[in-house]
Amino acid sequence: MAGLKLDRATKDFGGPPVVDGVTLDIADGEFIAVLGPSGCGKTTILRLVAGFERLGGGSIAIGDRAVSGPGLHVPPEDRRVGVVFQSYALWPHMDVAGNVAYPLRVAGVGDDEMRRRVGQALETVGLSGLGARRPADLSGGQRQRVALARCLVMEPSLVLLDEPLANLDTHLRGAMQREFDEYHRRTGTTMLYITHDQAEAMALADRVAVMSQGRLVQLAPPSRLYREPATRMVAEFIGQASVLDCDVLSAAEPGQAHARVLGIDCVLRAAPGEAPRRAAAACLRPEDIAFAPAAPGAGHATLRRVTYRGGSFALEAAPDAAPDATLRLVAPEPCALEPGARVSLGIRDGWIIPAA
């Protein structure tokens, strides 16, 4: 297997950069998800790594081997990279074994070796015994496994996955997530997973790279990304968050600061060295906001929406201190609150977004 390194990778198509100076260092065997809204450049990153597009600037190395850079472009077939696409791209007139064997046949691999590697790839993805079936006779999840087996049969040093679960229903997405996770645990293959679905990214990846407007905004393990977003964009994009103006009053202890949010004095988590400042921003997750007894120091709000989520309720409220803002809260079942109800609030946790 091999790691992957992008150094100030840049790409445009005659206009503003689609990928703008992205530096990304992926360790051998690491599973990285690239996450972001449509048009952020994540699929172009995959195409640059695969060799389907040429870099406009910077460099790309797979393991110790440079594959893209000034005056250098190693073609896709020479990169030992496997790609799994969203569309499966299976030949309907070939059976499963024929689809998996196709890249080996093109590469001139002998029949005995071909049969061995096809059998091994199908066993890896749990499709042993289905080699004679046609793609039309398979479920969506099985077709995705065939696409993965066709990728693996070439024994790639790096696997690229381009939104591979986007065409599956919710049940199959969950099943295939488990398949990808199990395959990664079993083989230790380096994987770069492109997705717009943050639940997939958070469930599968060792680290998540968040892209915005062609730039890498934050690279971190899922828990840190959720609890300590580096920017307002990340805070608003990952999970359900209320991002509110706040004043940082003073340091409380390392990793914490006294702050005032919606007129409520509270202690929030903060980056090391956070100093007193006005007009900062605080990220409050629904679980960070508690219903509080009506008392001095509590905040007050009016409920706008109450949505049942199965076992709990998602609430949206307009705080008195900032009527145009939206607070997102969660309440356990049973919950008798309805839109228009008045509630008192307390803040029990949160994160001060670092200064830009």
Q: pLDDT tens string for the chain (356 positions)?
A: 689 999 999 999 999 999 999 999 999 999 999 999 989 999 999 999 999 999 999 999 999 999 999 999 999 988 888 888 877 678 889 999 999 998 888 888 898 999 999 998 888 778 888 888 998 898 877 887 888 888 888 878 899 998 877 767 777 777 778 878 887 888 888 999 999 888 889 999 999 999 999 999 999 999 999 999 999 999 999 988 999 999 999 887 889 999 999 989 999 999 998 999 999 999 999 999 987 655 555 688 999 999 998 889 999 999 999 999 999 999 988 888 889 998 888 899 999 999 97
Tell which of 195, 227, 259 closes a domain: 227
Pairing of strands 207-212, 31-35: parallel
Does residue 182 lie within any of the structural domains? yes
| Degrees to nearest 5, angle at CA 221 with 216 and 227 | 95
Number of domains the chain is built from? 2
Does residue 323 lie within any of the structural domains? yes
Based on the fold, state whether residues 275 and 247 are members of the same structural domain.
yes
Does residue 233 lie within any of the structural domains? no
Based on the fold, state whether residues 215 and 262 are members of the same structural domain.
no
| Degrees to nearest 5, angle at CA 181 with 178 and 187 | 135
Based on the fold, state whether residues 74 and 159 are members of the same structural domain.
yes
Does residue 232 lie within any of the structural domains? no
Does residue 144 lie within any of the structural domains? yes
Strands, E assignment, 227-263: 242-253, 256-261
Tokens 């803040």 correspond to 347
H-helix or E-strand spanning residue 35: strand 31-35
Q: How far, in Å, are 11, 39, 86, 201 from residue 45 at the CA level?
A: 9, 11, 15, 16
Residue 250: exposed, middle, or buried by beta-carbon count in 10 A (0-12, 13-18, 19+)? exposed
Based on the fold, state whether residues 205 and 148 are members of the same structural domain.
yes
Does residue 333 lie within any of the structural domains? yes
Instruction: Give the domain range for residue 321.
Output: 240-352
Q: CA 301 to CA 60: how far, in whole Å? A: 51
Q: How many residues does the chain have?
A: 356
- The CA R_g of the chain, rounded to the nearest whole Å, is 24
Cis peptide before 334 (omega within 30 of 0): yes
Based on the fold, state whether residues 221 and 266 are members of the same structural domain.
no
Tell which of 180, 203, 227 closes a domain: 227
Q: How does DSSP classify residue 274?
A: -
CATH number at residue 210: 3.40.50.300
pTM over 0.75: yes
Based on the fold, state whether residues 216 and 311 are members of the same structural domain.
no
Based on the fold, state whether residues 247 and 220 are members of the same structural domain.
no
CATH number at residue 345: 2.40.50.100
Does residue 346 lie within any of the structural domains? yes
**SS3 of residue 241 by DSSP:** coil
Tell which of 201, 227, 253 closes a domain: 227
Based on the fold, state whether residues 91 and 172 are members of the same structural domain.
yes
Based on the fold, state whether residues 213 and 264 are members of the same structural domain.
no
Q: How does DSSP classify residue 170?
A: H
Based on the fold, state whether residues 247 and 183 are members of the same structural domain.
no
